[in-house]
């Protein structure tokens, strides 16, 4: 296992998850309209979850002897604050997370059971988020994913 590459990838995950905290917090402040209350609640929960994910990645970095990054991942402000626009941005963010966790899985598969299980768990978790956001983007009665 290339420990340096694993630590680099975990730091990328840490940065992405911290960006998610900022992103979801911002989004929760910018939601208006009929569905505001349940959506801001969901966004706030996602921000809290992102912080927990960042901490977990950071703990793995230090467990491997690395130094956790102080950076925050890419934050893109599109200035589009409609609910559908925000959800589409959320979808892209979640897909970026899946890509990083899949990269980690590729680095640790059959080399470190703990990291392999962590990567698999997080891939499943992030894909659950993607499914939820895709469902939120659907119009009532539509069965096909909106993405």
Domain boundaries, the chain: 3-137
Cβ pair 87, 31 in contact under 8 A: no
Global pTM? 0.91
pLDDT band of residue 106 (cuts 50, 70, 90) is very high
Class of the CATH-defined domain 3-137: mainly alpha
Task: Collect all residues with Cβ–Cβ distance below 8 Å to 68 and sequence separation of at least 6.
Answer: 11, 14, 58, 61, 62
Residue 102 has pLDDT above 90, yes or no: yes
37-41, 76-80, 88-92, 117-121: which has the highest mean pLDDT? 117-121
The runs of H, that is alpha helices, within 31-147 are 36-63, 83-108, 113-137
The tens digit of pLDDT for each residue in 24-54 reads: 999 999 988 888 899 999 999 999 999 999 9
pLDDT band of residue 108 (cuts 50, 70, 90) is very high
Closest-CA residue to 14 (of 76, 66, 72, 75): 72
The tens digit of pLDDT for each residue in 57-79 reads: 999 999 999 999 999 998 877 77
CA-CA distance, 40 to 34, in Å (whole number)?
11
């Amino acid at each position: 296992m290339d420990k340096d590459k694993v630590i680099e990838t975990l730091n990328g995950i840490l940065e992405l998850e911290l960006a998610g905290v900022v992103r979801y917090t911002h989004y929760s402040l910018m939601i208006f309209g009929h569905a505001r209350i349940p959506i801001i609640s969901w966004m706030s929960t996602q921000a809290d979850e992102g912080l927990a994910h960042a901490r977990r990645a950071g703990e793995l970095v230090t467990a491997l002897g690395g130094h956790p990054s102080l950076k925050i991942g890419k934050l893109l402000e599109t200035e589009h604050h409609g609910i559908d626009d925000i959800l589409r941005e959320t979808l892209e963010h979640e897909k970026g997370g899946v890509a990083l966790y899949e990269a980690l899985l590729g680095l640790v598969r059959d080399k470190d059971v703990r990291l392999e299980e962590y990567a698999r768990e997080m891939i499943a978790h992030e894909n659950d988020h993607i499914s939820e956001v895709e469902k939120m983007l659907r119009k009532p009665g539509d069965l096909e994913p909106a993405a």
